[in-house]
Amino acid sequence: MTWGRLLWGGALFFWLVGCGAPGPTAVSPTPLPLFPPPDLTGDPVHGQTLYERRVLGSGAPGCVTCHSLAPDVVLVGPSHFGLADRVAQMAPEQDAALYLWQSIVDPSAHITEGFNASDMYGQYATQLTAQEVADLVAYMLTLRE
């Protein structure tokens, strides 16, 4: 066997091993709770930046992928035009920030009429940080008619 074949064979072996079955995977992060930490304050400016991304850092779809900010325009989920006003009407007995937090971390917690919980991406509770959810909520509370 020549040195060239030996080197190519070794390189091929290590390449195939590197492309094989993955090693141990990281354990999924603990899902965010249904109630935000009491000392957490959201930043609406950062929330808007997150909201407007098509894909979030974890590969999750960004809000604008499925929600419009135009009145009565449905993409996948309901329009978020005037969302802060509507949340106050839909759940007057509940804090609007808590309602939105729960809607993000548990899509089945509050379902807008005409939509299904399965319409909403269901992994934000493990793919976003508590601060990111708080920032998104702070921004969504600025969405008024």
Q: In the chain, what are the domain boundaries?
A: 32-140
Q: How far lies 74's CA from each of 14, 42, 78, 135, in Å?
A: 50, 27, 5, 23
pLDDT in tens, the chain (145 residues): 444 443 344 433 333 333 333 333 333 468 898 889 999 999 999 999 999 999 987 889 999 999 999 999 999 999 999 999 999 888 788 899 999 999 999 988 988 889 988 889 999 999 999 999 999 999 999 999 9
Global confidence as pTM: 0.78
Residue 40's contacts (CB-CB under 8 Å, 6 or more residues apart) are 130, 131, 134
What DSSP letter does each residue of 1-69 carry, written as one string?
--HHHHHHHHHHHHHHHHHSS--PPPPPPPPPPSS--TT----HHHHHHHHH-SB-TTSPBPHHHHB-S
Residues 120-132: tens digit of each pLDDT: 999 999 999 999 9
DSSP code, position 144: -
For residue 60, which of 118, 130, 121, 137 has the smallest C-alpha distance?
A: 121
CATH superfamily of the 32-140 domain: Cytochrome c-like domain (1.10.760.10)
